[in-house]
Amino acid sequence: MSAPLWTSAEIEQATGGTASELFDVGGIAFDSREIEPGFLFVAMPGTVADGHDFVAGAFLKGATAALVSRPVDGPHVLVADVPAALTALAIAARARMSGKVVGVTGSVGKTSTKEALAAALERRARGRVHRSVKSYNNHTGVPLSLARMPRDSRYAVLEMGMNHAGEISALTRLVRPHVALITAIGPAHIENLGSLDGIADAKGEIFQGLEEEGVAIIPANTPQRDRLIRAARRHAGETITFGAPDAEVSALHFVPADGGGSLVTARLVHCELTFTVSQRGEHWVSNALAVLAAVEAVGADVAAAGLALADLGGLKGRGERHRVALPGGEALLIDESYNANPASVAATLKTLATEPGRHLLVLGAMRELGTHSDELHAGLADPISDAEVREVILVGEETQPLERALSGRAEVARVGSPDEAADLLLQRLAPGDAVLVKASNSVGLAKLVERVAGAGR
């Protein structure tokens, strides 16, 4: 029988709280909708709703106990401050874990890279690889992800995100990674950080939490490369670059693979490897190089990792592909609805360009671009034209500059909501079409994907 995730005594010791009775839990959640039998429900305070209001419902769903700051009916640990207690539990989880930890951040591709890296490590440590779920990568998500980490994990892959300077600095000191990986630097969150250099500095904070003799993995194909290397060398025992031809980890050559994706021969630090990455696009070649650099850095099996990269399925909201049944045939719907910034939009448009048939684009607003928003939205006109997109549906006021920039280059319609965009797309979609759906998550285009993908069922 496997050990519990936490005992009541361990929670007491970690948090300084008081348990109402003895119990064991097998999981943790602070969203009552995620509660499963045997879980600990963390009653987080909130500006809209207080988690304590959902304790009774969590028990009805099978929660074993709750972490609370006021007494409740049912097994619980009473603490002075629930968020602080969750952080304390995260620190205790990291302290008892004797395996290797990889921290991942970046402007583009951090969640996809995290998922691919976890799958790669799972090949030789089945059932003993822990990772952040969803995009739990902020000041509450990272402590939750750590607190969920089983004590016998051989590897953990934890994602860290930020909106402002200083946030990753705090998170990485909780995670204490043996390997810190930055996927890419791009203009995401430029509204708050002012410049690409500012973004690089904020992402480079991840190196501050590195364990002694830790490894920093840095994208070589960015103008901020040397800036990141300088930041890394203050904390890392080794610095590895990836992506560019002169990097320590690079693609010697790659060609399209049968069925999509790429066949890649890569030079790693200690060997060369030929492998297939199932995901389409040059950006996924870069992601794969980052994954292999991290696998090698933690001493895991790179050959097994190459096999895992060949077997990656589509990630919801990050490249998942749907076949939409239509009268007379079907269309391809590429779901990139979870996130968008200029770099990721340009990368996924290159993928769309390789698809047969008529190319359509549903593009929602890119958020957190601040005073650069108009310029960066309009700057997508050339990548859209290069991908031979014939029809564009734009969603949101922020896309007006792009609408103007595309005048005379494509048929463009701008709407105000995902529902309007879905209506228009369903009117225009024809057999043989390939449509890319891309937006910042807050735009809500996941609803469009769900509706359109299910239209032909």
How many CB atoms are closer than 10 A to CB 8? 23
Is 237 flagged in the annotation as binding?
A: no
Is 112 flagged in the annotation as binding?
A: yes
| φ, ψ at 452 (rounded to 5°) | -70, -40
β-strand partners of 411: 391
Q: CA–CA separation, 449 vs 431, rounded Å?
A: 17
Question: In whole angstroms, what separates CA 350 from the centre of its chain?
Answer: 20
Query: Nearest CA to 317 among 421, 420, 445?
Result: 445
311 exposed, middle or buried (CB, 10 Å; 0-12, 13-18, 19+)?
Answer: exposed
Q: CA–CA separation, 197 vs 231, rounded Å?
A: 12
Q: CA–CA separation, 140 vs 403, rounded Å?
A: 38
Is 134 flagged in the annotation as binding?
A: no
Q: CA–CA separation, 30 vs 34, rounded Å?
A: 8
What is the arrangement of strands in the sheet containing 215-219, beginning at the earlier edge strand?
Answer: 129-131, 155-159, 100-105, 179-182, 215-219, 238-242
Contact indicator for 420, 393 with CB cutoff of 8 Å: no
| φ, ψ at 443 (rounded to 5°) | -70, -30
Q: CA–CA separation, 304 vs 12, rounded Å?
A: 40
Is 108 flagged in the annotation as binding?
A: yes
Is 111 flagged in the annotation as binding?
A: yes
Query: Nearest CA to 115 among 269, 290, 282?
Result: 290
Is 106 flagged in the annotation as binding?
A: yes
Residue ranges at the known binding site? 106-112
Residue ranges at the known binding site for ATP? 106-112
